[in-house]
Amino acid sequence: MSRIAFGTWQLGGDWGSFDEDTAIAAIRHARELGVNFFDTAQAYGFGKSEAMLGKALREELKRDRDNLVIATKGGIKPRSERPRDSRREWLTQGIEDSLRFLDVDHIDLYQIHWPDSDAPAEETAGILQEFVDAGKIRHIGVSNYDAAGLADFDKTRPVETLQPPYHLFRRDIETDPLPYARENDIGVLVYSPLGSGLLTGSFTPETTFEKTDWRSRSSAFTGETFRRNLAVVDRLKEFAAGKGISVSRLAIAWTLAQPGVHVAIVGARKAANIEASLAAADVDLTADDLAEIDRLTADAVPVSGASPEGVV
C-alpha cells in the first residue's frame, strides 16, 4: 500500500459544506499520483462518503480491482441510543450496505470503528471471520482500540491492522497501544496526522468553523488551548521552512518516522491539497530533527477529538 492513504471523513458531512465534484476530483488526483489505499466508513454520512469514493474510483474498480485497497469501518451509530454497536445485526447490515454503496463485491480491509464494551471482542471477531470466509472481506482491523481490546480480539483471530488518532498534539498511543501493535506485528494506519487542520499552518486565533463542522464544538479549536497550540505551530513552521518544506508536510513526515507506524491517512477536499501530503512520504527526518521537534512541542496542550458519543 502507499504510505499515504486518502481518508474520506471530510466527505461525510461532519466538516462543513464542500463541492462534491471538487472532492471527487481530489480522490482521482490522489490516484493519479500513486495513492492506492483509500479509507472510508459507514458512519461518514451513512453511505455518503462510501458512495462518493466508489463513484470517484468506479472505472478502475471495474477494470483493475486488485490494484486498489479499499478500507471501510463499521460498528457505530452516532447520535443514537447505542452509539457503539458491534452486534451481529448492525455489523451485518453495515457490511452489506458498505458493499452496496461502494459498489464492490469485497472489501479489502474492514475495521471496527470503535470498541463496543457491550459486545465481547471475541464474538465480534468471530462475526467478521464469517464474512472473510464468505469472501466479502479480505482483511480485518480495528480503530481506536487500546492494547487490552486488541488482546481480547486476538483471542479469536489476529487483528491485522490498527487505526488510531496520532499527531503532535495527540501522542497517547505511544504508551498504549502502539507498543502492543509493534510487538504483535499489527499494521498501524494513523488518522488525523494534521491534527484535524491544526498542523496545516492555515489557522489563526480568529479562525472559526461552520456549525456543521465538528470542530466548532471542540475545545481543541477554541480558547486558550487553541491559541497555545497555534503558537507551537508557528515555531514548527519556522523549523519546517529551514528544511524547505511546509509545516503540514513536516507533521505528516513526523508520524511516518515513528517506529511501528506504517501509513498516515490524510483527507483532502481539493486536488491541490493532496500533493503536499503525498510529498511527506519522501521527507527523511534525522534523530536530531525528531529531538528538535520534541523540544518545539514540549509545551503543547494535548487534545482529543470526536467520538461516537460526541466531541470533547
What's the pLDDT tens digit per position in 21-31? 999 999 999 99
pLDDT tops 80 at residue 187: yes
pLDDT of residue 36: 97
Compute the mean pLDDT over every residue in the chain, rounded to the nearest whole number. 95
What are 114's three cell numbers? 470503535
Q: How far is CA 90 from CA 85, 121, 251, in A?
A: 7, 15, 36
The arrangement of secondary structure in 4-195+256-283, i.e. its CATH architecture, is Alpha-Beta Barrel (3.20)
pLDDT of residue 101: 97
The answer to whether 229 touches 170, Cβ cutoff 8 Å, is no
pLDDT tops 80 at residue 13: no
Rounded (10°) angle between helices 271-279 and 247-256:
50
Catalytic residue numbers read: 44
Q: How confident is the model at residue 312 (pLDDT cuts 50, 70, 90)?
A: confident
pTM comes to 0.96
